[in-house]
C-alpha cells in the first residue's frame, strides 16, 4: 500500500456567504410553485439556473427544460430562466400563444432597463460580459444596434464607437470584480468621457462570494468551489481564489467529482459554492473531506445577506386565486429544490 501525506487533523475554512442568492432562490421557487399550481409538465426555457443538480431535481418533479420556445407546445406555460431573455424571445413566445412566467432575476432586469434607456438616448453601449452567455444574449437583444460585447481587457482595442463623448458601459451580473475593473480602466483610457452605469451591475451576491473567497484564499492550501461548469459566478470563484493566493483551486459539481490526490499534503482546505448551488451539495463535500482527514469546519463570514425577491406578479395572483400560500419573502432555504431522494 502506498503511503500518502494526507492530513488527519486538517481544517476546512468554509466561506460565507456562499450558495443560493436571492435571484436563484426565487427562480427555483417559481418552477416549484408553477408545478404545484398547474401540475406537470411545466416548460422552462434554458436551465432555470446554471446548476446540474437543481435542473435534474426539477426535471424529476415534472419540469421540461427546452432550448427555445418553439419546442414548447402552442398555448402551454413556459418559465423564463433567472438569466433573462431578449425581447425577441418574448415575441416568439407570444407568437405561439405561450403563457409565460418570468423568473428573470430583478437584478438582471435592472441591467436590461439600463440598456434600453441608454439606447434611447443614443449612446454607444459597451456590454462587458461573456459572448454566448444567456444573460449577455438577453441584455444584448434589448438594443442590438447600440451594444457591443467586450469580454476582456484585450478586446477593448477592437471597440469602434460613433462618438467617443457618448459611450457608456454596463455589465453582466456575474463577472470578476477585478477583471471587470481592468476592462473598464482600458475602456476609459480609450474613451475618457466613458459613463458608468447608475449603480453596480455586478450583483451583490457575486461580489459577496468573491470577497469571502479572497478573504480565506491566502490561508488555505486548496480551494474547492462547488458549482457547475456553465455557472459564470462559480467559475469566477476559482479564478479569484487563484489570484488571491491559493496554490490550487478546483470546481466540482458534487462531492463524487473530488479527487483525493488534490488534498495530499494539504492542512487547510477552503470551501465555497456558487450562487446557484444548494447547500446540500456543500454538506456532501464537507462529509467527504471529513472522512479524509479534515474533520474541523470553521465558517468564515464576511457579510450577512438578507435580500429576498417577491415572486412574479402573475404567479402571485394565480396562487392567491387558488388559495395557495405564497410564503415569500421568506428565510432562504438551506437545501435545494424539494426532493425526495
Residues that bind ligand SF4 (CB under 6 A): 21-24, 82, 105, 107-108, 173-174, 203, 205-206, 233, 275
Reduce the DSSP state of residue 72 to 3 states and report it.
coil
Shortest Å, Cβ 232 to ligand SF4: 9
> Which grid cell sits at 233?
459566478
Q: Which is nearer to ligand SF4, 21 or 150 (CB)?
A: 21
> Which grid cell sits at 339?
426532493
Shortest Å, Cβ 135 to ligand SF4: 8
Output the known binding site for [4Fe-4S] cluster.
Answer: 21, 105, 203
Residue with cell 402551454: 76
Q: Which is nearer to ligand SF4, 83 or 214 (CB)?
A: 83
Shortest Å, Cβ 104 to ligand SF4: 9
Q: Which is nearer to ligand SF4, 21 or 216 (CB)?
A: 21
- Which of these, 32, 122, 17, 33, lies nearest to 316 by C-alpha position? 33
- Could you give the CA distance from residue 292 to residue 319 in angstroms, rounded to a whole number? 47
Residue with cell 433567472: 82
Q: Which is nearer to ligand SF4, 146 or 209 (CB)?
A: 209
Shortest Å, Cβ 107 to ligand SF4: 4
Contact 12/272 with Cβ under 8 angstroms?
Answer: no
Phi, psi of 63 (to 5 degrees): -80, 140
Output the known binding site.
Answer: 21, 50, 83, 105, 133, 173, 203, 231-233, 276
Output the known binding site for dimethylallyl diphosphate.
Answer: 50, 83, 133, 231-233, 276
Contact 115/97 with Cβ under 8 angstroms?
Answer: no
Q: 47, 114, 134, 135: which is the annotated catalytic residue?
A: 135
- Could you give the CA distance from residue 276 to residue 229 in angstroms, rounded to a whole number? 12
Q: Let me know if 135 is a catalytic residue.
A: yes
User: Active-site positions?
Assistant: 135
Amino acid at each position: 500500500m502506498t503511503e500518502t501525506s494526507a492530513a488527519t487533523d486538517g481544517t476546512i475554512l468554509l466561506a460565507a456567504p456562499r450558495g443560493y442568492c436571492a435571484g436563484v432562490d426565487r427562480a427555483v421557487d417559481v418552477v416549484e410553485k408553477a408545478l404545484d399550481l398547474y401540475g406537470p409538465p411545466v416548460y422552462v426555457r434554458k436551465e432555470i439556473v446554471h446548476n446540474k443538480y437543481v435542473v435534474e431535481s426539477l426535471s424529476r418533479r415534472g419540469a421540461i427544460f427546452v432550448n427555445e420556445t418553439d419546442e414548447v407546445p402552442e398555448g402551454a406555460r413556459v418559465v423564463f430562466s433567472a438569466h433573462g431573455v431578449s425581447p425577441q424571445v418574448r415575441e416568439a413566445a407570444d407568437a405561439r400563444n405561450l403563457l409565460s412566467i418570468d423568473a428573470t432575476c430583478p437584478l438582471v432586469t435592472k441591467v436590461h432597463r439600463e440598456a434600453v434607456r441608454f439606447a434611447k438616448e443614443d449612446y454607444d453601449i459597451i456590454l462587458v460580459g461573456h459572448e454566448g452567455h444567456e444573460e449577455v444574449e438577453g441584455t444584448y437583444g434589448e438594443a442590438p444596434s447600440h451594444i457591443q460585447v467586450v469580454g476582456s481587457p484585450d478586446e477593448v482595442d477592437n471597440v469602434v464607437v460613433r462618438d467617443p463623448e457618448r459611450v457608456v458601459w454596463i455589465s453582466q451580473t456575474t463577472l470578476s470584480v477585478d477583471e471587470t475593473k481592468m476592462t473598464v480602466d482600458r475602456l476609459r483610457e480609450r474613451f475618457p468621457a466613458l459613463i458608468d452605469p447608475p449603480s453596480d451591475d455586478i450583483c451583490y451576491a457575486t461580489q459577496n462570494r468573491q470577497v469571502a473567497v479572497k478573504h480565506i484564499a491566502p490561508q488555505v492550501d486548496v480551494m474547492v468551489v462547488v458549482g457547475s461548469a456553465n455557472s459564470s459566478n462559480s467559475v469566477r470563484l476559482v479564478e479569484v481564489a487563484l489570484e488571491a493566493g491559493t496554490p490550487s483551486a478546483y470546481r466540482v459539481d458534487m462531492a463524487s467529482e473530488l479527487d483525493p490526490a488534490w488534498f495530499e499534503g494539504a492542512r487547510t482546505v477552503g470551501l465555497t459554492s456558487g450562487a446557484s448551488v444548494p447547500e446540500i451539495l456543500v454538506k456532501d463535500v464537507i462529509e467527504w473531506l471529513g472522512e479524509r482527514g479534515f474533520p474541523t469546519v470553521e465558517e468564515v463570514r464576511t457579510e450577512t445577506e438578507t435580500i429576498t425577491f417577491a415572486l412574479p406578479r402573475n404567479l402571485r395572483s394565480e396562487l392567491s386565486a387558488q388559495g395557495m400560500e405564497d410564503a415569500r419573502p421568506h428565510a432562504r432555504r438551506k437545501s435545494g429544490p424539494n426532493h425526495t431522494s
